[in-house]
Structure 1
Amino acid sequence: MLSQDLARYVDQQRSLGFKFRVQHILLRGFVAFAEESGDRFIKSARVLTWAALAPSPEQRRNRLLTVRRFALAMHAENPRHQVSAADALGHAVAKRRSPYIYSVDEIARLLRAAAALEPAGSIRPTMYGTLFGLLAATGMRIAEALALQLDDVTTDGLVIRETKFQKSRLLPLHTTTRQALDEYLVARQSLITADRALFVSVAGRALPYNTVRMIFLQLLDRANLRGANAGRDPRIHDLRHTFAVRSLEQCRHDHTVVARHIVALSTYLGHAHVTDTYWYLQATPVLMSQIAEAGEALLMGGAA
């Protein structure tokens, strides 16, 4: 019975657009474990026993939460399915790496280094300069940029189809960004290739991520940015963080504008939840200072 419930649950998740690969593997393991004990319904004790078999606290918590979501769906159909408490194995420890926020000069140095790539006169320097410039100017994910096709460039902006959460979105472009992209397209269309990828190698093939990362490390060297993040290398993904933080900093002195802007920024970045965008406030000293000042003013006003 649990196997049948799982099959229906997986079909439902995939019909909503989720790939649901890792979750399916985990849930198959749990269902096999539960059915070996003769369970026909999800039991909290069995969930905790199975989750505890994972080798690390993070994996144990992930097992628990994955089965808990399954149990919630099944409990809605039949209350005999038990739902474990989300904190039954403790709370998650936040381990999100602090972002590196590039300065305007650092981004300019990276793009100049890209423009100097060999072979001179080929599409390579133009392509990498456009790719990293587009990441800095739009905050899109590198995977989204590498998945772009020529047909995704429209008069209204870029159509982002290969997103982290399988939700397509339209990305409007600033006039200067669009101009730089159009200049690259002239060079791109001169290549004789059947590949429709927007960003391609000199040979006319779509770029793999590992190649792009290797070139990025070379550019960090040339821009004198290796180890700039407290001894660690800044990442490509930090261009996205920088875009988000600089965007929020434009909304200083008005908390209502910040609140509205965060909602718009969340949509633009393709976040699944607006709370993911609020995380950027902690990386924005200007806004954090204003939040502290507003809190102090509120406190002093209340004391008066």
Structure 2
Amino acid sequence: MSENYKFRSILATPIEGYIAEKRAVGYKFEKGARMLQRFDAFAYNTSFSEMALTKQLVTTWSTRSPNETISTQCGRISLLRGLAEYMNRIGYPAYVYPRAMVTIDRYAYTPYIFTRDEIKRMFEACDRYPPNSCTPNRHLILPLLLRMLYGCGLRISEALNLSIQDVDINKGTLYIRNAKFGKERVLPMADSLTQRCRDYRNVADIEKHGNPFFFPSSFGGHYSDSRIYQLFREVLHQAGISHLGRGKGPRIHDMRYPN
């Protein structure tokens, strides 16, 4: 159990056991563990005292919060359903939220397909992005990162988790670790993108601070998804591409769908 997660409610033991089980079969389960920490705090703050997952506790926790999307609510419900099934297996009474009560169409979103002209304007806006003394490599990272997403079809998390060793500037390949479903793969880069990676390494000198990530943050580790999305929205604005609002795109994920 990671020391980053502290569980205080009476359900701490089964929660920790469930997380351990998920990780034992290969899941990183970081997002799930964070959500279960929230649930544990909820149970603790409501002075819940039964070694059971009662229907009342489950339904109260599962109630949709103001401004919460249905997708987020379904995620919370699904996580608690998994905990309940685990508790039942090891002998604790637990109410399993019925699957049919909340459903969501996960394929309802239509990706935004950028035109070639829009892609050109976005890259030009990236190339004009000004340096910043607090984050001195940001103006170098952003143009390369977006080109990598577009040219290689990466998920943003896959790109941000690339280490320096994962980007082979001699062979022109990317080694993707811990991809979706725990898979690994090697992707080829176009010659022009490989050359950009070489130039970036030379100019940004990313090895000098001992940070292993190819796109290092000045504050340690790598850039966060949320920060890159903020920069992406700025680029859209500078490129004259309308952003339709939360959940409506264009999303940075839509860079994976070339025209």
The answer, yes or no, to whether TM exceeds 0.5 is: yes
SS, match of residue 99 in structure 2: coil
Q: 1:25-44 residue pairs with structure 2 within 5 A?
A: 25-27=38-40, 29-30=42-43, 36=49, 38=50, 40-43=51-54
Larger Rg: 1
Matched residue, 1:85 = 98
Per-residue deviation at 1:83? 3.1
**Given the alignment, which residue of 151, 154, 159 partners 1:137?**
151
Q: What corresponds to 2:239 in structure 1? A: 223
Residues 84 and 94, structure 2, Cα contact 8 Å, conserved in 1: yes
User: How many equivalent pairs are there?
Assistant: 234
**Secondary structure at 1:140 match in 2:** coil
Normalised TM-score (structure 1): 0.57
C-alpha change, 1:159 and 1:168, in structure 2 (3 Å) is farther
How far is 1:71 from its partner?
1.9
Q: Is the 8 A contact 2:84 2:95 kept in 1?
A: yes
Q: 1: CA distance between counterparts of 2:59 and 2:40?
A: 14
**Hey, which bits of structure 1, 4+ residues long, moved more than 6 A?**
31-34
Structure 1 contact 146–199 (Cα < 8 Å) conserved: yes
Change (3 A) 1:224 1:69: same
Match of 2:174 among 148, 158, 161: 158
Percent of paired sites with the same residue? 21
- More relative contact order, 1 or 2 (CA 8 Å, 6+ apart): 2
Give CA-to-partner distance per residue, 1:245-289, whole Å, 9 cap, x none.
x5xxxxxxxxxxxxxxxxxxxxxxxxxxxxxxxxxxxxxxxxxxx
Partner Cα distance (2:244, 2:97) in 1: 44
Per the TM alignment, residue 68 of structure 1 is displaced from its structure 2 partner at its CA by 1.8
Q: Tell me which residue corresponds to 1:18.
A: 29
What does residue 6 of structure 1 align with? 15
Query: How far is the alpha carbon of 1:9 from its aligned partner?
Result: 1.8
Q: 1:70 maps to which residue?
A: 83
CA–CA separation in structure 1 for the residues paired with 2:88 and 2:221 = 49
In structure 2, what residue type is equivalent to 1:160?
I
Give the distance between the partners of 2:182 and 2:63, measured in 1 at CA.
34
What SS does the aligned partner of 1:172 have?
A: strand
The structure richer in helix per residue is 1
Q: For residues 249 and 97 of structure 2, what CA distance do their matches in structure 1 show?
A: 41
CA 1:166–1:151 in structure 2 vs 1: closer, same or farther (change >3 Å)? farther
For 1:135 and 1:2, the matched residues in 2 are separated by: 42
Letter of the 2:16 counterpart: A
- Do structure 1's residue 147 and structure 2's residue 161 form an aligned pair? yes
Which AA in structure 2 matches 1:18? F
RMSD across aligned positions (CA): 4.3
CA distance in 2, matches of 1:205, 1:48: 36
Q: 1:67 to 1:214 in 2, by over 3 A?
A: closer
For the residues of structure 2 that align with 1:219 and 1:118, how far apart are their CA atoms?
A: 12
What CA distance in whole angstroms lies between the structure 2 residues aligned with 1:178 and 1:41? 55
1:113 is paired with a residue of what secondary structure? helix
Q: Report the CA distance shift for 1:171/1:104 in structure 2 as closer, same or farther (over 3 A).
A: farther
Please identify, of 191-200 and 7-16, the stretch whose mean Cα deviation from structure 2 is larger: 191-200
Kept in 1: contact 2:233–2:243 (CA 8 A): no
Match of 1:198 among 214, 217, 225: 214
SS in 2 for 1:224: coil
Separation (CA, whole Å) in 2 of partners of 1:194 and 1:124: 18
Structure 1: give runs of 5+ residues left out of the alignment. 247-304
Aligned partner of 1:50 in structure 2 is: 60
Instruction: Name stretches of at least 5 consecutive residues in structure 2 with no aligned partner.
Output: 1-9
- 2:189 is aligned, of 170, 174, 178, to 174
